Amino acid sequence: MSKLADSLPVGVLAGALRFAFGLPTPVRRLITGKPVVLDGQRLHPDAQLLLRLQQLSGQDWDTTSPAQNRAALAQSNALVCGPVVEGVGVRPVRVPRDGGEIAGRVYEPVGLAPDSALLVFYHGGGWVSGDLDSHDNLCRFLALEAGVRVLAVDYRLAPEHPFPAAVDDVMVAFEWAVEHAADLRIDPARIALGGDSAGGNLAAVTALRAARSGGPSPVFLLLLYPAVDASSKRRSRELFGNGFFLTDAKMDWFRDHYAPEEASWVDERLSVLLAEDLGVLPPTYIAVAGFDPLRDEGEAFADKLAAAGVPVVLRRHEGLFHGFANVLGLGGIYREAVSEAVGSLRTGLALANARQDLPETA
The pLDDT confidence band at residue 6, using thresholds 50, 70 and 90, is low
Model confidence pLDDT, tens digit, residues 112-126: 999 999 999 999 999
Strands (E), 137-202: 149-154, 186-196
Output the average pLDDT for the chain. 92
The secondary structure of the chain in percent helix, strand, coil, rounded to multiples of 5, reads 45, 20, 35
Amino acid sitting at position 222: L
Query: Which residues, other chains included, contact 189 with Cβ-Cβ below 8 Å and sequence gap of 6+?
Result: 219, 352, 356
Whether 115 contacts 190, CB under 8 Å: no
The pLDDT confidence band at residue 1, using thresholds 50, 70 and 90, is very low
Whether 198 contacts 229, CB under 8 Å: no
The pLDDT confidence band at residue 76, using thresholds 50, 70 and 90, is confident
**DSSP character at residue 271:** -
Whether 75 contacts 21, CB under 8 Å: no
What local confidence, expressed as pLDDT, does residue 353 receive?
81
State yes or no: pLDDT of 334 exceeds 60.
yes
pTM recorded for the entire structure: 0.93
Q: Residues of 281-315 as b/e, b for ≥16 C-beta within 10 angstroms?
A: bbbbbbbbbbbbbbbbbbbebbebbeeeebebbbe
Start-to-end CA span in the chain (Å): 75
The pLDDT confidence band at residue 80, using thresholds 50, 70 and 90, is confident
The pLDDT confidence band at residue 362, using thresholds 50, 70 and 90, is very low
Pairing of strands 284-291, 220-224: parallel
What local confidence, expressed as pLDDT, does residue 347 receive?
95
Phi, psi of 331 (to 5 degrees): 60, -145
Which of the pair, 351 or 156, is modelled with greater confidence? Answer: 156
Model confidence pLDDT, tens digit, residues 271-321: 999 999 999 999 999 999 999 999 999 999 999 999 999 999 999 999 999
Cis omega (within 30 of 0) for bond into 164: yes
Ordered strands of the 149-154 beta sheet: 88-97, 100-109, 149-154, 116-122, 186-196, 220-224, 284-291, 312-321
Residue 248 backbone zone (phi > 0: left; psi -120 to 50: alpha; other: beta): alpha
Name the residues annotated as catalytic. 197, 292, 322
Q: Assign 117 to helix, strand or coil.
A: strand
The pLDDT confidence band at residue 55, using thresholds 50, 70 and 90, is confident
Amino acid sitting at position 71: A
